[in-house]
Amino acid sequence: MISKETLFALSLFPYLGFLWFISRSSQMPRLALYGFYGTLVFVAVTIPAGIYAKVHYGEQLANIDWLHGSAEVFLTLSNILLVLGFRQAVQELKSKH
């Protein structure tokens, strides 16, 4: 049986491939691209935060509100960049017609 940690680690490889392909697309809005990369930053921040929660509090990250909320800020910022990037692309398409 594959552990959830192993599955999580393996899931990074397809995501890195996704980032590689969309980075080379001229159709991907830059701001949205930054949002997708921001999701990777969120993962990079969440892992040490989860370790800290386990070592210092003996709890899962989700149970330590201040730490969990601090990590989630990065996901929120990533989502905002995605929405603004795609919104900008849609507005540019509409203005061309």
Does the pLDDT of residue 97 top 90, yes or no? no
- Per-residue pLDDT tens digits for 10-60: 889 999 999 999 999 999 999 999 999 999 999 999 999 999 999 999 999
Q: What is the pLDDT of residue 8?
A: 81
Given this model, what pLDDT does residue 2 score?
81
State whether residue 67 is helix, strand or coil.
helix
Contact predicate 68/83, CB 8 Å:
no
Q: Which residues contact 78 (CB under 8 A, 6 or more apart)?
A: 35, 36, 37, 38, 39, 41, 42
Residue 61, pLDDT score: 93
Q: What is the pTM of this model?
A: 0.85
For 67-87, what is each residue's pLDDT tens digit? 999 999 999 999 999 999 999
